[in-house]
Amino acid sequence: MHPMQELSPGLVIQGVQPPLNLKDFKLIAFDMDSTLINIECVDEIADAAGRKEEVAAITEAAMRGEIADYKASLRQRVALLRGVTIADMEMVYTQRLQLNPGAEQLVAACKAAGLKVLLVSGGFTFFTDRIRDRLGIDYTRSNVLEVESGPNCGQLTGRMVDQPWGDICDGAEKRKMLLETCAALGISPKQAIAMGDGANDLPMMYEAGLSVAYHAKPAVREKAMVAINSGGLDRLLEVVR
């Protein structure tokens, strides 16, 4: 194990000796909220229901690893979104959501080097599908918000819809999806890079050959091989070229 060292201001490495070669990897897996994008979507949707503070406090505790049952915490937050409309979510996407600095550059560099790109999120398909299309991402896994039919058509019910693979994309599901994608590609998880910022990203980060924390919670920064604490996502290219 190499000791922790600051490669340059705001870029810390431990357990790896750069420069690594991007072509040695075959897959990069990203978390979405606060990693690829600048917001926590669930918190911003809650703002439309006047419940942002309440929801954001639960999100923060979950990301810090202070809530043992992530699924229960997400169900609790989604229940508070009941009555929010699709139009409200569209507004979050168009007015509040931005790609984090360096997102497009890093994804483009990975694709140019032949890597497949996976987006695994505890967030929602309403946003992950758009980010997938915007960045040309190969695979995604995230949660589906249930929408009312009938008189309240277009409003959220406060529940999520079960999917063929399971009910909620939590840390265990992120890990499973990373491993399944590696198996489908015929590669070892050690040929994967995993990037995230919250405690629910750690299970997939432990499996990957290179784990990267991006402006992450303390527990995640400490355990990652690379921690980007300032600057954009493309700072990873200072370590993996």
Q: How does pLDDT run across 80-137, given as a tens digit for each residue?
A: 999 999 999 999 999 999 999 999 999 999 999 999 999 999 999 999 999 999 999 9
Average pLDDT, the chain: 96
Query: Has 69 been annotated as catalytic?
Result: no
How many domains, in total, are found in the chain? Answer: 1
Residue 1 scores a pLDDT above 60: no
End-to-end CA distance of the chain: 21
Local structure of 223: helix, strand or coil:
helix
Question: Is residue 63 a contact partner of residue 199, using CB atoms and an 8 Å limit?
Answer: yes
Query: Has 47 been annotated as catalytic?
Result: no
At residue 140, the pLDDT reads 98
| Enclosing domain of residue 213 | 5-238
At residue 79, the pLDDT reads 97
Rg of the chain's alpha carbons, rounded to an integer?
A: 18
Burial 94-115 (b: 16+ CB within 10 A, else e): eeebebbebbbebbebbbebeb
Task: Tell me which of 31, 88, 170, 201 is the catalytic residue.
Answer: 31
Task: Tell me which of 24, 33, 129, 133 is the catalytic residue.
Answer: 33
> What gap in Å lies between CA 106 and CA 146, rounded to an integer?
33
**Kind and range of the H or E run holding 80:** none
CATH code, domain with 55? 3.40.50.1000
